[in-house]
């Protein structure tokens, strides 16, 4: 089962890369700035939200903007995968129903496109960070690489979960949108975990997304994370990935009937 799952992806690797290329090109078709938007959007967003919050809550802009940016970038990747996963199979109906292409490449396509946009976002982050806090740069930042790998598998699992769930019950998509909104506020992105205080610490301590986001966010900011934190994140990511793969595998031959 595992062999046919990954073998199928390998078999259709050219189709996958071709789709990813197309999606990236199509995103900025007829746009003057093109791919620069992938950098400008998170940059401008962080400056806008950062300035407002910094003024409202008397935060230091130099600290607050990077913190927000470092959290928002992986968060956008996660929501992009979860939202895009909903329609991965639905948009591929034309291919799935008439060519014998392996369906598991379509959620992966969504994840790859979002991941490349995440890399652009990280580039934009470093530009801002270099201006605001050049002293924070150091070799610890390399830990962002394992963090990205962990996050990739988590989000891939999530995209697969959403793609199958939404195929069976179309109510899943609006439900997930709501859940994501709620998750955004209970995950420390626009605030620091410490701001929740002792009594509300459980809100992030039992939130899997906190660990997943943090393995990317903290290295971006030049902070080291304890090993336990990585172990928890890896366990969560593997569990999500396994669930996602199992779901796609299980309904492999139902997809065409459900579309």
Partner 1 sequence: MSIIKLEDTDLVFRVWRERRLKDIIVPGSNKFNKFQNAKVHALDHINLTIGEGERVSIIGHNGAGKSTLLKVIAGIYKPTGGKMTIEGNISNMFELSTGFEVEQNGWDNMYLRGLMLGLSPKEIKSKMREIADFSELGDFLNMPVKYYSSGMFVRLAFSTSTAIMPDILLLDEVFAAGDAGFIDKATRRMKELVNVAKIMVIVTHSMETAVDICNRCIWLDRGKIRMDGDPKEVTRAYLEYIK
**How many CB atoms sit inside 10 A of residue 73's CB?**
25
Within 152-171, the residues that bind partner 1 by CB under 8 A are none
Q: Is 1 in the site for partner 1 (CB under 8 A)?
A: no
- In the complex, the smallest distance separating the C-beta of residue 203 from partner 1, rounded to whole angstroms, is 32
Contact 173, 166 (CB under 8 A): yes
**Nearer Cβ to partner 1 (30/139):** 30
Q: Which is nearer to partner 1, 39 or 255 (CB)?
A: 255
Q: Smallest distance, Å, CB 251 to partner 1? A: 12
The reply to whether 98 sits near partner 1 by the rule CB under 8 A is yes
DSSP assignment string, 6-36: HHHHHHTHHHHHHHHHHHHHHHTTT-SSGGG
Q: How many residues bind partner 1 (CB under 8 A)?
A: 19
Among 4, 7, 26, 52, binds partner 1 (CB under 8 A): 26
**Which string of DSSP letters, residue by residue, matches 45-67?**
HHHHHHHHHHHHTT--HHHHHHH
188 and 75 Cβ atoms separated by less than 8 Å: no
Query: Binding of partner 1 at residue 99 (CB under 8 A)?
Result: yes
Q: Which of 2, 32, 60, 94 binds partner 1 (CB under 8 A)?
A: 94
CB of 168 to partner 1, least distance (A): 9
The HSE-up count of residue 139 (CA atoms within 13 Å, CB side) is 0
The site string for partner 1 over 218-257 (x = CB under 8 A, - otherwise) reads -----------------------------------x--xx
User: What span, in angstroms and rounded, lies between the C-alpha atoms of 240 and 237?
Assistant: 5
Nearer to partner 1 among residue 206 and residue 257 (C-beta): 257
If one counts every other C-beta atom within 10 angstroms of the C-beta of residue 142, the result is: 10
Main-chain dihedrals φ then ψ at residue 97, nearest 5 degrees: -90, -10
Residues 6+ apart with CB under 8 A from 182: none
Among 28, 37, 95, 230, binds partner 1 (CB under 8 A): 95
Binding site for partner 1 (CB under 8 A): 14-15, 18-19, 22, 26, 29, 93-101, 253, 256-257
């Amino acid at each position: 089962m595992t062999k046919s799952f990954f073998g199928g992806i390998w078999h259709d690797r050219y189709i996958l890369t071709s789709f990813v290329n197309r999606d990236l090109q199509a995103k900025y078709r007829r746009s003057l700035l093109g791919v620069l938007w992938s950098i400008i959007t998170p940059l401008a967003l962080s400056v806008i939200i950062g300035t407002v919050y910094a003024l409202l809550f008397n935060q230091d802009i130099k600290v607050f903007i990077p913190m927000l940016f470092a959290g928002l970038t992986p968060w956008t990747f996660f929501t992009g995968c979860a939202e895009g996963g909903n329609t991965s199979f639905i948009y591929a109906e034309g291919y799935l129903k008439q060519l014998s292409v392996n369906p598991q490449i379509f959620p992966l396509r969504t994840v790859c496109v979002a991941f490349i946009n995440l890399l652009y976002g990280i580039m934009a982050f470093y530009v801002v960070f270099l201006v605001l806090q050049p002293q924070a740069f150091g070799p610890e930042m390399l830990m962002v690489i394992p963090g990205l790998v962990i996050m990739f598998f988590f989000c891939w699992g999530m995209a697969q979960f959403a793609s199958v769930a939404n195929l069976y019950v179309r109510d899943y998509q609006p439900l997930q949108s709501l859940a994501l909104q709620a998750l955004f506020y209970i995950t420390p992105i626009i605030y620091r975990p410490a701001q929740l205080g002792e009594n509300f610490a459980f809100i992030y301590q039992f939130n899997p997304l906190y660990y997943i986001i943090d393995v990317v966010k903290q290295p971006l900011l030049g902070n080291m994370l304890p090993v336990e934190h990585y172990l928890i994140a890896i366990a969560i990511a593997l569990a999500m990935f396994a669930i996602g793969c199992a779901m796609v595998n299980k309904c492999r031959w139902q997809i065409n009937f459900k579309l």
